[in-house]
Structure 1
Amino acid sequence: MGDQIGRGEEFEKKAEKKLTGWSLFGSGKYEDAADLYDKSANCYKLSKSWEKAGAVYIKLANCHLKSESKHEAASAYVDAANCYKKISPQEAISCLNQAMNLFLEIGRLNMAARYCKEIGELYETEQDFERSMDYFERAADLFQSEEVTTSANQCKQKVAQFAAQLEQYPKAVEIFEAIAKHSMNNNLLKYSVKGILLNAGLCQLCRGDVVAITNSLERYEEMDPTFSGTREHKFLADLAAAIDEEDVEKFTSVIKEFDSMTRLDAWKTSLLLKAKNALKAKEEEEDDLT
């Protein structure tokens, strides 16, 4: 390991020397230095010196920028980000932002979308849902502009999920319903519609407006005629009835029954818990009044 660090430092010094030296061909010294920086970064990676490797990849990116090689510079920033991911998510985000902006400049929108999405994922692991939502939203727009519909929908669903977590239910409902409507016209995507409508319905439940929930279910039946015969539709209708009757026990047993057949993920569970707590609070409030 120590040997690799020594070799990395040696290549790095040689690169610095190239850059400070005089060259008949201006761009030549940047290309030579870039080659040495690349070797240096590889040595640091082999020794798991992630901070040193990341810093050298940034120097490599700057070399490529000096010689007007924006694609190579963006790729070097991505390499830097991959090193920083292991030690500093914030540094990784900074490098990915640089890469994303360069890919946008050279019209590589698909690549820009990919790294925009990756930034969203890093913010998600940092529990910064506001920023994560912003980047997933941008990624969705970029994927959409390149007609990469599946990736665009995945990003939009993330935006809707974060909106619900931040209790921005109308926004979440609007996004889920738009995805469902769009997916109905696509043979590959239409089978996912019942799951998306379930997500939209759960966001409506958290708003606690029984009339809005009932109206939504009617709309979903019109949107997808097969929806009324699904387990997801029955689940939402039964939950709506329990809320209407202000029956916490019924609400809980409906969830248990559905979960025994179709496992509820953490996101759905957290929304159902919010709806249940709101129902409980309402029940207790009415008990206090009597």
Structure 2
Amino acid sequence: MAGNKKIEEGLELIKSAEKHLKTSLLKWRPDYESAADDYNKAATCFKNAKSYQQCKDCLLKAAEYHQQNRGLFYAAKALDQCILICKEMGDIRDIYVMAERAAYMFQSQGNPDSAVATLEKTAKILESQVPMEALNLYRHAAEISGIQDNQRASAEYTSKVARIHVKLQQFDEAADAIRREIGLHQAHESIQAVGRLVVALVLVQLARGDIVAAEKAFKEWGNYCDPPEIQNLEMLLQAYDEEDRDNAIRALNDPFIKHMDVEYAILARDLRLPQGNAVVQKKPIVENATDEYKRVRPQNDEYVPTDSYKAGDNNEEASSGHQPEDDDEYSGGGLC
């Protein structure tokens, strides 16, 4: 019963708002302000009655007429409330456009903080279902915060942008966002945050398959890392450079990496590991080895006689050069 009364009250307010919009011979211009106020009141009645579709329609009307009356701040407030109603309805198709409109109105009226709050709130609603739209809203919030010289807030929203890129496996864009975030943290000398981001950037570059870029990032910003992080990154990069699968797994299972933001921890878990094809090296010949382990023929496959064979040849030559004379009874001469 209470819900029905609220709906009836809301309908009466809509009729009142429509009257304010009518013109007559003595009333040349619609009363947009009064109409917008009545639509706002009607929206409240419908919200209390949980008639969310009617509430949404009234809020959009209120925003329209506040804008017609050049009351951009109140129009933005109506859109901001409409976003929450859409969330209650489970209908988030239009809230991205609403958030951008509201942010523009807030900003044009000199309320950047309200603009950022609306963008952040809407991005959180969209992040799980429409991450690309959430990413754009976070990026817009970072830009507004940067204009207001709020580097810390800008870095926070840029971090969200980078993590969404990682989640979507857009590693090139993620690397760019992390670099921007590093620059913002350097501006207000947040050294510890930069150290964590260096690890994240190395992981992203490895996910891109670019070991050179990963090493370059470590050389450029590695001095911001703590000693344990430096040792772990050195082991990780060396493992990928030498195709050492075991050391790569050991480095990626480091507690510091496992306790990073969820997106980076998952990235480290799913990172492509080195193949681990070890090159088998031939053992060198030991000079003083026994005869049975010495090489008989060289690697160039040229025949070289062994010492024993040479000794045999010399004996044959000696025996052939000094043949003994046979004591033959007929050696002195032939038969007469």
Q: Is TM-score (shorter-chain normalized) higher than 0.5?
A: yes
Which residue, out of 152, 164, 179, partners 1:162?
164
**Aligned ranges 1:51-62 → 2 under 5 Å:** 51-62=53-64
Which residue does the alignment assign to 1:267? 263
How far 1:184 moved relative to its partner? 3.0
Q: C-alpha distance in 1, partners of 2:104/2:64?
A: 14
Q: C-alpha distance in 2, partners of 1:156/1:38?
A: 35
Matched, 1:241 2:243: no
How far 1:70 moved relative to its partner? 1.5
Which residue does the alignment assign to 2:17? 15
- 1:167-186 superposed Cα distances (whole Å, 9 cap, x missing partner): 44343223323432442342
Q: C-alpha distance in 2, partners of 1:158/1:121?
A: 10
Which residue, out of 239, 251, 256, partners 2:253?
256
Structure 1 counterpart of 2:215, one-letter code: T
Matched, 1:279 2:281: no
CA contact (8 A) 1:27 1:67 kept: no
TM-score by length of 2: 0.71
Unpaired runs of at least 5, structure 2: 279-336
- Residues 127 and 95 of structure 1: CA distance in aligned 2, closer, same or farther (over 3 Å): closer
**Aligned ranges 1:196-207 → 2 under 5 Å:** 196-207=197-208
Q: C-alpha distance in 1, partners of 2:204/2:210?
A: 11
CA contact (8 A) 1:40 1:56 kept: yes
> What is the total number of aligned residue pairs between the two structures?
275
- Residues 62 and 45 of structure 1: CA distance in aligned 2, closer, same or farther (over 3 Å): same
Q: C-alpha distance in 1, partners of 2:64/2:212?
A: 59
**Aligned ranges 1:79-158 → 2 under 5 Å:** 79-87=81-89, 88-129=91-132, 131-158=133-160
- Residues 270 and 221 of structure 1: CA distance in aligned 2, closer, same or farther (over 3 Å): closer
How far 1:42 moved relative to its partner? 0.8
Which residue does the alignment assign to 1:216? 217
How far 1:221 moved relative to its partner? 3.0
- Residues 66 and 181 of structure 1: CA distance in aligned 2, closer, same or farther (over 3 Å): closer
- 1:206-229 superposed Cα distances (whole Å, 9 cap, x missing partner): 12333332332221134x3xx251
Structure 2 counterpart of 1:198, one-letter code: V
CA contact (8 A) 2:151 2:184 kept: no
How far 1:28 moved relative to its partner? 7.1
Q: Percent identity?
A: 22
- Residues 95 and 168 of structure 1: CA distance in aligned 2, closer, same or farther (over 3 Å): closer
How far 1:119 moved relative to its partner? 4.0
Q: C-alpha distance in 2, partners of 1:38/1:213?
A: 55
- 1:264-290 superposed Cα distances (whole Å, 9 cap, x missing partner): 442012211332xx226x45xx69xxx
Which residue does the alignment assign to 2:52? 50
How far 1:58 moved relative to its partner? 0.7
- 1:24-60 superposed Cα distances (whole Å, 9 cap, x missing partner): 5666732222222122111111122222111101111
CA contact (8 A) 2:103 2:118 kept: yes
- Residues 63 and 174 of structure 1: CA distance in aligned 2, closer, same or farther (over 3 Å): closer
TM-score by length of 1: 0.81
Q: C-alpha distance in 2, partners of 1:174/1:33?
A: 48
Q: C-alpha distance in 1, partners of 2:38/2:230?
A: 61
CA contact (8 A) 1:27 1:66 kept: no
- 1:191-249 superposed Cα distances (whole Å, 9 cap, x missing partner): 32222222212212212333332332221134x3xx251x3333333322332343444
RMSD: 2.8
- 3-state SS of the aligned residue for 2:198? helix
- 1:84-139 superposed Cα distances (whole Å, 9 cap, x missing partner): 1222111222322221232344454443343334444343222433x333332222
- Residues 215 and 96 of structure 1: CA distance in aligned 2, closer, same or farther (over 3 Å): closer
Which residue does the alignment assign to 2:43? 41
Q: Which has the higher helix share?
A: 1
Unpaired runs of at least 5, structure 1: none
- 3-state SS of the aligned residue for 1:125? coil
Q: Which moves more between the two structures, 49-58 or 213-222?
A: 213-222
Q: C-alpha distance in 2, partners of 1:168/1:28?
A: 51
Q: Which moves more between the two structures, 49-58 or 7-16?
A: 7-16
Q: C-alpha distance in 2, partners of 1:161/1:105?
A: 30
Q: C-alpha distance in 2, partners of 1:69/1:184?
A: 40
